[in-house]
Amino acid sequence: MKNFGIGAGVLVAVFVGYLLHTPIPTDLASPWCFRLLVAGLKTGDIVTALTLYLKPSDPQLHVRALRTMIEIGLPEPDEQVLGSNLTARYAHFDGIRVLIYEPVHRPNALIPALVYFHGGGYALGSTKLHGALTKHLAESLNMVLVSVEYRLAPEHPLPAGPDDGVIATKYLLQHACEFGIDPHRITVAGDSAGGHLAAVVTQQIHDDPSVPDLKLQVLFYPWLQAMDFYTPSYQLYDHTYGNIGLSRSKVVGFVAYNLFQRLDAEFEIKVMRNMHMSADFKRSHRFLRAFDHDIIHEKLANASFTQQFTDPESSYLFNSLSESIPKPTLVSSSSSSPFSPSSLLSSLLPVPAPYQTPDFTYEPQEAFEPGNETYWSEIQDFFLDSGMSPLFREDTSGLPKAFIATADQDILRDDGIFYTHALEQGGVEVHWKNYQGAWHGIAGMGVLQNIPIGIEMIEDAITFIQDNI
């Protein structure tokens, strides 16, 4: 029995070590919080692999299991938030469930409101999970905040989520006075996939003459596209972090399954290599106007990137980095589905790697592999729809003033920069800030863990709203 206890303790220690073993650059903000985030993702990988192995007939089981895992113990919001000027309650806006925060003490005049869309890759997340962030925003802004419980994939594939966002926002605009809200002073905001939702809602409300236009849009490290997986930030993240955190394979896995319900390794490999589009489309003006890498600031796109890592045993993550990033060999370790046991097993097998990575070499768009007409014919209508791809909007003039926060160490960094450029081309005033050392998810964790740069990001957004609402 004693030996069993020792053995169990060793296994637990090894497992915890595996979860927390995350080689990272020395200039990353709040490294241990990042490690905790990555540990959560690793645990999610294990849950995914086990559920798919044990019950392959129910591929949606792993998503339901992940939702349960990340929301265990989360309480329902209190009607009266203790120690604050807020009340909280659930309601339905034209059938869409929303969480409403309202100030207890408010002026007799109509006040502004903020509509918030949580992140989570359109498959995870909830108003409860993002409750700390939305409560902080509502308290700081002293206005009504509506957090939208939009439908999630894969049970409800896109555009279900954006459709719900539009319906809920339109309802609030139409019934604003009933809530004591000025319909001309409503902001939409969101993080990650919620940033995509906020951008889509902003554009669709702008095009709807039956309701007032939105006042402001606020996007935290938004995910805005599933077309170009070789932007400079994708290449740099591959080079620096490999397959940890929100990696290329993670993003592609979400796209393949949650958008197209495909657990298909071959399809995912094509997407990771930008081969889900046709060659003609990748050379088209429409694509290059949205994804011209030259619009990414030179210091972000082409700068040498040599980092010292905190852990000399950087394991499998930086294997083969002496070659340029977009080579097919670099995606071979992720060639199996990110939802399969084989991809999990490969991530557990370390190989030697240098303590210091080579200089980062940006690979220009011309070096990408050719397209695939077959895949493109199946998915082009979906991708070219403005409800899916806000970057493809031809005319951005007249859209609301924007605050866009990008995280320097985020694989999605360039999505926000592309959208900043697109809005500016239409004459929209954009307050864009790239937070050095920040990573994907830092705004929400910043509130929970008091991460300075995450708090800074949130406070900058609050100041922007207060100054412009």
DSSP conformation letters of 231-294: SHHHHHHHHHHTTSSS-HHHHHHHIIIIIH----HHHHHHHHTT-SS-HHHHTSHHHHHHH-GG
Measured CA to CA, the distance from residue 165 to residue 150 in angstroms comes to 6
Establish if 337 belongs to a structural domain: yes
From 457, 447, 366, select the one nearest 409 (Cα to Cα): 457
Establish if 279 belongs to a structural domain: yes
Establish if 1 belongs to a structural domain: no
Do 378 and 261 lie in a common domain?
yes
pLDDT of res. 397? 98
The sign of the dihedral angle between the CA atoms of 291, 292, 293, 297 is negative
Establish if 334 belongs to a structural domain: yes
**Is the omega angle on the peptide bond into residue 209 within 30 degrees of 0, that is, cis?**
no
Backbone angles phi, psi at 208, to 5 degrees: -100, 105
List of residues 6+ apart from 213 with CB closer than 8 A: 205, 206, 398, 400
Establish if 3 belongs to a structural domain: no
pLDDT of res. 17? 53
The neighbouring-strand residues paired with 405 are: 220, 433
What secondary structure letter does DSSP report for 456? Answer: H
Do 264 and 325 lie in a common domain?
yes
pLDDT of res. 285? 92
Over residues 420-441, the pLDDT tens digits come to 999 999 999 999 999 999 999 9
Establish if 146 belongs to a structural domain: yes
Element of type H or E holding 286: helix 285-291
Do 396 and 252 lie in a common domain?
no
Establish if 94 belongs to a structural domain: yes
pLDDT of res. 346? 36
Do 144 and 209 lie in a common domain?
yes
Do 273 and 214 lie in a common domain?
no
Strand residues in 173-307 grouped as ranges (E): 181-191, 216-220
List of residues 6+ apart from 271 with CB closer than 8 A: 226, 229, 252, 255, 256
For the annotated catalytic residues, the residue numbers are: 192
pLDDT of res. 370? 80
pLDDT of res. 65? 82
Q: Give the end of a domain, one of 367, 382, 397.
A: 382
pLDDT of res. 58? 77
pLDDT of res. 315? 29
**Domain count for the chain:** 2
Residue 424 near residue 433 (C-beta atoms within 8 A): no
Q: Give the end of a domain, one of 340, 365, 382.
A: 382
Q: Give the end of a domain, one of 382, 398, 421.
A: 382
pLDDT of res. 316? 29
The CATH code of the domain that includes 122 is 3.40.50.1820
**What pTM did the predictor assign?**
0.83
Do 62 and 174 lie in a common domain?
no
Do 208 and 111 lie in a common domain?
yes
Do 374 and 235 lie in a common domain?
yes
Domain holding 177, by residue range, is 74-225+389-468
The residue ranges of the chain whose pLDDT is under 50 are 299, 301-357
Do 48 and 79 lie in a common domain?
no
Do 318 and 461 lie in a common domain?
no
Do 371 and 264 lie in a common domain?
yes
Which two tokens mark 128?
A: 């409860």
Do 246 and 345 lie in a common domain?
yes
Residue 45 near residue 345 (C-beta atoms within 8 A): no
Establish if 4 belongs to a structural domain: no
